[in-house]
Structure 1
Amino acid sequence: MAAAAVKRIKLGSQGLEVSTQGLGCMGMSAFYGPPKPEEDMIALIHHAINTGVTFLDTSDIYGPHTNEILLGKALKGGLRQKVELATKFGAIFKDGKGEIRGDPAYVRAACEASLQRLGVDSIDLYYQHRIDTTIPTEITMGELKKLVEEGKIKYIGLSEASASTIRRAHAVHPITAVQLEWSLWSRDVEAEIVPTCRELGIGIVAYSPLGRGFLSSGPKLVQNFEEGDSRKHMPRFQPENLEHNRKLFERVNEIAAKKQCTPAQLALAWIHHQGEDVCPIPGTTKIENFNQNVGALSVKLTPQEMSELEAIASADAVKGARYEGNMFTYEQANTPPLASWKAAA
């Protein structure tokens, strides 16, 4: 499938404009096996920018820190002005355990550190990576609002936030984008989160739009997991669930063959057809896979084909949770009321 031109879309209602497809950079440095060669990853980032994919997604926890440093190196020499740079704060691994922080002092320190690692004066889109449920979201947002006023960040985003958290945060300062897992094998966000974003004029950034690679390769993907690949522990990739989940991939593959595209392109096209307010950010470490992902922009789906895909990928089509254990997902993302917090103080 030949690649289409990469369009630009408005993300949210505050003026941010991004490429209609982004590039998730996590796997270059962390969580999907050992870090990949820096020179190759910089070449991939440059290729993406030259292709028109200019919305780059990272986080301070990727590495930790090394992915932001990689992007900083890749954007030297005038490329900074050509991209929309998104990074995140608030998720920390400490002594083998996850910790979430959204207190003002931490928010500010994390932002300053990311600016330094990225080698930039301002971050285009700064996400709260996970919600700190120990303090009201209004407290965290208050500090982010100050960072916008100081010019250190341009737009604010949330990741894995509940509908009520999104509403409360948006009341303090407009949220430009919510990042969420959305794909043919993760559709639970369609019930409440997506409608809330649309009601408030918030852009939607779909991470893992290829089901962490499952919608590209199917069950054989697990044979290629390297040491340190977090997917090894994810419930959906365990043998007791994988055999069931194979059926979803096989059906998607059948439709893709009829469309003369790859299953990955079909899965990405499905996300693109959700609306102009949705930007998927598939990650990859290979230029050939990147080119294939951009090719998804040429895949046009009829309403009948969309319905067929959605019938295959119904709520009970996939077995296993998205994450192992408590990964601070939107289901646990409600924070204390501000009034009770003030009373306690």
Structure 2
Amino acid sequence: MVSIKNFTTLGGTASDIKVAKVAHGLMKLTGTPDEVAFEAIKAGVDALPPGVKMFLNSGEFYAPDLGPGNLELLSRFFEKYPEYAERTFLSVKGAGLPNSISQFDSSPKNLKRSIDTVTKALRGKKKIDLFQCARVDPNIPVEEAIKNLKVFIDEGVIDHIGISECGAATLRRANAVYPISVVEIEISPWSYEDETKKVLATAEELGIAVAAYAPLGNGFLTGSIKSPEDIPEGDFRRHFNRFQPENFQHNFLIVEKLKNVAEKKGVTPAQLCIAWVGSLGEKVLPLPGSSRKERTLENLAGGDVELTSEEKADIDKIINEFEVKGSRYMGTDPKALLLWG
């Protein structure tokens, strides 16, 4: 049985909660047979020492129809394994407008609709430990958005507040209104921007945990995707700029470089990336997705990999010298995509 040793604590009002150093993104579980999905979740929790929780990350819209299918699957998991409710910490993203993945509304009315949808899908099998708006609403000051969320803290509907895809200045403003427990941003060896570093520094200063989503570059950095044709039909990654044919082969060079470092270390490329992301701060939690037990355990083991100063220097050199082609998502305008809100 795999036994994970490395853990950390969250921030803000959740600073007393111990979680595994590597979190578990659940988006890929949607559509996976229950028995397979349940084992993927269960294996990670079972690998943790007593008193340490698995940080699970879900969303109101993590389904092809942008509905709560992912949360409904989670509800079935906790119904079958009720003892795992207290062994996990559930973070949920929401506040998108119905049937949209590009419009977000942090008004009291839409937040109530969103949180009610999440609560209904969970059917009382698991409480929302932390809620965060998936993007910063450009039409509502972040201070007002956090005040709107605090209402649900006061009502006992959620326990903690997070913030997702925000810039450093926004994080500071939000935390001044109410302690932010987790900030969720994209971090990987091919997504390490100047604003990333600013958010990391601000979070460390304020004692906020960082959930680093897509630490494997949406699977690209594992080396398992060797051409655009390897991406299944209907997979959202087919639309991402970095996966397009005109960028793919160039970007695959960074995979080869990281693979060489991983082979010398005796770990997989995925574990190397997870270890590097985790090394960026005590409270930085790499947040890879997994729909299979084996992948969950491989990812968790990456959190126990200790990089030497020389190995970190080798990885930093690759990152600094390699120019990734293509933006993080499908467009080129960060404001239109609500990045770094």
Please, what TM-score do these two structures have when normalized by structure 1?
0.88
> What does residue 342 of structure 1 align with?
none
- Is the 8 Å Cα contact of residues 5 and 304 (structure 2) preserved in structure 1? no
Alignment partner, residue 5 of structure 1: 4
What is aligned with 2:86? 81
Task: After TM superposition, give the deviation of residue 227 of structure 1 in Å.
Answer: 2.3
User: Which of 70, 73, 76 matches 1:70?
Assistant: 73
Tell me how far 1:296 sits from its aligned partner: 1.3
What is residue 32 of structure 1 aligned with on the other side? none
Q: 1:18 — aligned with what? A: 19
Work out which of the residue numbers 279, 303, 308 in structure 2 matches 1:297.
303
Alignment partner of 1:239 out of 228, 242, 245? 245
Contact preservation (8 Å) 1:104, 1:139: no
Task: Supply the AA of the counterpart residue of 2:58.
Answer: T
Aligned match of 2:290: 284
Deviations 1:169-194 (A, max 9, x none): 11111111100000111001433221
User: Structure 1 residues 119 and 18 mapped into 2: Cα distance closer, same or farther (>3 Å)?
Assistant: farther
Are 2:122 and 1:110 equivalent residues in the alignment?
A: no
Q: Indicate which of 13, 33, 37 corresponds to 2:33.
A: 37
Amino acid at match of 1:22: A
Corresponding residue for residue 182 of structure 1:
187
Equivalent residue, structure 1, for 2:102: 98
In structure 1, give the amino acid aligned to 2:39: A
Question: RMSD of aligned C-alpha atoms?
Answer: 2.0
User: Is the CA contact (8 Å cut-off) linking 2:57 and 2:90 kept in structure 1?
Assistant: yes
CA gap 1:27/1:92 in 2 versus in 1, 3 angstroms: farther
1:293 aligned counterpart, secondary structure = helix
The structure-2 alpha-carbon separation of the partners of 1:67 and 1:18, relative to structure 1 and needing over 3 Å to count, comes to: same
| Residues 220/204 of structure 1: CA separation in 2 closer, same or farther (3 Å cut) | same
CA distance in 2, matches of 1:97, 1:50: 34
For 1:166 and 1:232, locate their aligned partners in 2 and report how far apart those are by CA, in whole Å. 31
Partner of 1:337: none
Contact persistence 1:241–1:319 (CA under 8 A): yes
How many angstroms apart in 2 are the aligned matches of 1:297 and 1:5? Answer: 8
Between 284-293 and 225-234, report the one with greater CA deviation. 284-293
* CA deviations over 1:110-153 (Å, ceiling 9, x no partner): 11221221233631111111111011112211121111122111
Give the C-alpha shift of residue 316 in structure 1.
4.8
**What secondary structure, in the 3-state scheme, does the structure 1 residue paired with 2:131 have?**
strand
Structure 2 CA distance for aligned equivalents of residues 18 and 298 of structure 1: 13
Given residue 123 of structure 1, which amino acid in structure 2 is its aligned partner? I
Structure 1 unaligned blocks of 5 or more:
30-34, 334-345
Are 2:52 and 1:59 equivalent residues in the alignment? no
* Partners of 1:110 and 1:315 in 2: CA distance: 43
Residue 59 of structure 1 aligns with an amino acid whose one-letter code is G
On the 8 A contact 1:91/1:101 being kept in 2, the answer is yes
Output one character per residue of 1:5-44: Cα deviation in whole Å (capped at 9) or x when no partner. Answer: 2433111132233221111000111xxxxx2222211222
Query: Could you tell me how far apart the structure 2 residues matched to 1:315 and 1:66 are?
Result: 41
Is 1:319 paired with 2:325?
A: yes
Counterpart-to-counterpart distance in 1, 2:179 and 2:150: 9
Matched AA of 2:148: E
Deviates more, 1:217-226 or 1:287-296: 217-226
Give how far 1:240 is off.
1.3
Distance 1:225 1:322 in 2: 17
- Aligned-partner Cα distance in 2 for 1:144–1:294: 31
Percent identity over paired residues: 33
Q: Which residue type is aligned with residue 153 of structure 1?
A: I
Equivalent in 328, 332, 344 of residue 337 of structure 2: 328
**Shift in CA distance, 111/97, structure 1 to aligned 2, threshold 3 Å:** closer
2-structure distance, mates of 1:232, 1:271? 25
For 2:277 and 2:249, how far apart are their aligned partners in 1? 25
Q: Give the aligned partner of residue 202 of structure 2.
A: 196
| Cα-to-partner distance string for 1:273-328 (whole Å, 9 max, x where unaligned) | 22211011111112222222122134221111101101101275311100012663
Q: Distance in 2 between matches of 1:142 and 1:254?
A: 48
Q: Partner letter of residue 330 of structure 1?
A: L
Residues 127 and 319 of structure 1, relative CA distance in 2, 3 Å threshold: same
Q: CA deviation at 1:263?
A: 0.7
Range 146-155 or range 118-127, more displaced: 118-127
